Every structure is written in structure tokens, then in C-alpha cells.
């Protein structure tokens, strides 16, 4: 069981109605758009429960590992998932997908205060590389760009979209890894680490007509406009 309990409010990354038959898993890149998507679902009389958690946590849940938040245990199986394309490929051998599509494209970035070079930042907060594709990818890109410096201290966090902006604004770290659209939403100065990371969405076996309709709403004009207005670009399969 993965225990996400901490001083940070993990429940803010759970959305919708807990008893809903339709369960949706999104990587944390989607957290800023979850309420908009649930609103679109509601307009179509679709109820859903959604988790926006690090990709590695979601992968382990999909393969029947439970997640604990305080005294709440999450043990539901999803019908719709969205993960980085590199992690979605792992499903091929398991034959659990009905369909998958490229969804959006973004960049990973390193946020630093004005005047601090990306390679000079000494204490960097990044998503836990053991549970996050963003963390693993960014760490590799940072090492390739700046070398493996002994003076660089890495501070892993679990929910980067909530924790890292606070750490940066309070001056507790000199650098923080996040997605480019998150940096823009926060008004941060940043350096691009890895370009054109594609997020995919997939419909899993067992999906009914309601889940299929919910899947198609991700590609609706209203949803796409919301994503693009925040700096994400549509990816083409």
C-alpha cells in the first residue's frame, strides 16, 4: 500500500463523487483542469470520481496496489487514464487498453529565481523520481545539461504542483521542477529541460457507453480551448 498521508492536503487532488461508477486517473499535469472537465461531464449528466496523482502512483494502483490518504483507502480501478506516453507503452504487454490517443504536449522546466542560472541552483525540489515520470525525466535532463554536481542538493516531493510553488515562494529552495504550463500559471521564471513530452489518454477494458462518452469529451472544443489557453498544445497521434 502506498501511503500519501502528510502535512499537505492530498484530498485536494481527489475530485468528483466517490461513489461514481466511472473512475478516472490523471497524472498531476491535469490537476488545474480537473474541475473544468468534471463540469463538462456534469453538463452531459455524467458523474465521475477522479484522482490526479503522480504517474507512478497511478500505475501501481492500476495493477491493484492500494493508496492510503489519512484514514481513506483508495482501491478503485479506473476506466479512463492519462499518463506520459512513455509510461502508457507499458500497457501493451498487459492487453488492458481498448484505445489510446495522444492528448497534449508540454515541456518539463526548472524554475529558478530571477538572476540564478539553472546550473547554479544548489537546492532543487523535484517530483519523487521513484513515483513520477516528470521527476525521473527532469533529473536526467538536468544532469545532462549541467553535469552531476556534488554541490547540488535534490529535495524530492510527492505532489510537486502543490509543494514546489510554496517552497520556491518561501525561498526554501533555489530551483523547482514542474511542467511548463504550471510555471506559466504561477508566473515563474524558468528554463526548459525537456521538450515535447506527450500525454496520452486511454480507455480501459470494461468501459461502458458512459465511459466512452466521457473519453470523447476530453477532445471537445471547450476542453481543448481550456488546455490551449493555459499553454498546452494538442498532440496528434
Domains detected in the chain:
2-105+198-234 (3.40.190.10), 107-196 (3.40.190.10)
> Cβ contacts of residue 65 below 8 Å, gap of 6+?
1, 2
Q: Kindly state the cell numbers that stand for 170.
A: 518561501
Q: 153-157 and 67-69 as β-strands: parallel, antiparallel, unpaired?
A: unpaired
Predicted pLDDT of residue 113? 87
Q: Which residue has the cell 468528483?
A: 16
Residue 153 CA to residue 119 CA, distance in Å, equals 12
One pLDDT digit (tens) per residue for the chain, 237 residues: 666 556 555 667 889 998 899 999 999 999 999 999 999 999 999 999 999 988 888 888 888 888 877 777 878 889 999 999 988 887 776 788 899 999 999 999 999 988 788 888 889 999 999 889 999 999 899 888 888 766 778 888 877 888 899 999 999 999 999 999 999 999 999 999 999 999 999 999 999 999 999 999 999 999 999 999 998 998 876
SS3 for 16? Answer: strand
Identify whether the C-beta of residue 174 lies closer than 8 Å to the C-beta of residue 121.
yes
In 10 A of CB 153, how many CB atoms?
Answer: 13
Question: What sign results for the dihedral spanned by CA atoms 155, 159, 161, 162?
Answer: negative
Give how far Cα 192 sits from Cα of 29, 97, 108, 118, Å: 16, 32, 6, 10
Amino acid at each position: 500500500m502506498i501511503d500519501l498521508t502528510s502535512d499537505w492536503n492530498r484530498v485536494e487532488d481527489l475530485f468528483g463523487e466517490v461513489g461514481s461508477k466511472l473512475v478516472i486517473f490523471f497524472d498531476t499535469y491535469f490537476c488545474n483542469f480537473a474541475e473544468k472537465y468534471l463540469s463538462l461531464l456534469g453538463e452531459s449528466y455524467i458523474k465521475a470520481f477522479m484522482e490526479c496523482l503522480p504517474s507512478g502512483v497511478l500505475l501501481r494502483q492500476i495493477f491493484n496496489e492500494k493508496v492510503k490518504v489519512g484514514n481513506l483507502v483508495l482501491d478503485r480501478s479506473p476506466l479512463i487514464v492519462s499518463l506520459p506516453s512513455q509510461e502508457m507503452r507499458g500497457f501493451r504487454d498487459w492487453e488492458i487498453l481498448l484505445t489510446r490517443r495522444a492528448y497534449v504536449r508540454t515541456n518539463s522546466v526548472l524554475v529558478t529565481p530571477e538572476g540564478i542560472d539553472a546550473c547554479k541552483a544548489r537546492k532543487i525540489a523535484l517530483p519523487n523520481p521513484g513515483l513520477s515520470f516528470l521527476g525521473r525525466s527532469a533529473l536526467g535532463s538536468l544532469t545532462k545539461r549541467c553535469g552531476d554536481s556534488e554541490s547540488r542538493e535534490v529535495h524530492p516531493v510527492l505532489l510537486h504542483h502543490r509543494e514546489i510553488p510554496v517552497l520556491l515562494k518561501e525561498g526554501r529552495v533555489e530551483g523547482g521542477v514542474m511542467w511548463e504550463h504550471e510555471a506559466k500559471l504561477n508566473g515563474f521564471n524558468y528554463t526548459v529541460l525537456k521538450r515535447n513530452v506527450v500525454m496520452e489518454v486511454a480507455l480501459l477494458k470494461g468501459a461502458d457507453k458512459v465511459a466512452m462518452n466521457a473519453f470523447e469529451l476530453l477532445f471537445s472544443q471547450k476542453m481543448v480551448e481550456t488546455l490551449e489557453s493555459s499553454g498546452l498544445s494538442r498532440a496528434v497521434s
